[in-house]
Amino acid sequence: MTNPITPPPRFEIRKLGPEHLEWAKAILCHSNAFHSPVWSKIYPSDQTARFYAAFDGATYFVRHQIDSGLSYGVFDTEYVFKRPESAATGGAVYFQNESDRDPTLSPDGILNQMDFPLASIALAFDAADPMDLTRITGLIQALPDFATFAPRLEARDTREKSSWEATGPFQVLKRMGTATRADYMGQGITKIMAHWLMFNAAENGFRGINIECYHDAVNHIWTHPPEPFRAEEVAVFRVDEYEEEGEKEGDEVVRPYGHVTQALSKVYVHLK
């Protein structure tokens, strides 16, 4: 199957490599800490400190997916570097060292320290080579309610596991990390990337893609794939309906995140 999806002018889709690890971590964590309709609402204070903690804790999470050879990024071929030292190395982040960090910086201040041509990422790995979740404890410490919500979403997937789970390599692609840099939002590259990835996965022999969506826009993209693919929303969990176990106020069950009006979903795209 030939991939018919092409990015808009000035953008290129390329496979992510080890040299892109810090860039991908920066985009993923900036998006989640400052722009996520879930995490930015649950954790509205000390967001810059949380960003740094997530960045430090995301190394294995991102590296495992880059090392799979199945993660891609959208690159800006006309990117203008902010600093000459970034141009000399092809791009850089300026908060890797503790001494370079300022917890008072705004989201735009952090973004100004992300000086590289990578605009958007789509992280993925082969379900036959699963992620070791014991190695993402640092990331979960930065976003602790991920450990609360993820199993509840998983529990709502009532499919027989034998009907979709991988029994070997190149069967099911696991997508775990969609993020577009704040200064590239609204240009449609997240959708282009998703559709391109569907065709690319089909070309590589995968029969399906599994993705958890924590954003309405991401859910819409993945539940409306291009032909000939078919999407199935297999689980939904609303954050605002989460009930704190064992906690009540009088006769009322406590819903601590009633202000977070976001549905989390699990989507499976049939490629065959």
> Taking all residues of the chain, what is their mean pLDDT, rounded to a whole number?
96
Mean pLDDT of all residues in 222-245: 95
pLDDT at 249: 62
Answer yes or no: is pLDDT of 2 > 90.
Answer: no
pLDDT digits (tens, 9 = 90+) for 179-211: 999 999 999 999 999 999 999 999 999 999 999
pLDDT at 245: 72
Distance (Å, whole) CA 31 – CA 125: 20
pLDDT at 247: 61
b/e per residue 98-122 (b: at least 16 CB within 10 A): eeebeeebebeebbebbbbbbbbbb
Mean pLDDT of all residues in 58-71: 99
* 0.85 surpassed by pTM: yes
Residue pair 118/17 in contact by the 8 Å Cβ criterion? no
pLDDT at 246: 63
Distance (Å, whole) CA 121 – CA 30: 12
* Percent of the chain surpassing pLDDT 90: 93
Residue pair 68/94 in contact by the 8 Å Cβ criterion? no
What fold, for 11-270? Aminopeptidase (3.40.630)
C-alpha R_g of the chain: 19
Answer yes or no: is pLDDT of 248 > 80.
Answer: no
pLDDT at 182: 96
Count CB-CB contacts under 10 A for residue 37.
Answer: 16
* Continuous segment of H or E residues that includes residue 154: helix 146-155
pLDDT at 253: 82
Q: Which of 218, 242, 260, 212 is nearest to 43 (CA)?
A: 260
pLDDT at 268: 98
**Residue keyed to tokens 């199945």:** 70
pLDDT digits (tens, 9 = 90+) for 87-117: 999 999 999 988 999 999 999 999 999 999 9
Question: Cis ω on the peptide bond leading into residue 228 (within 30° of 0)?
Answer: yes
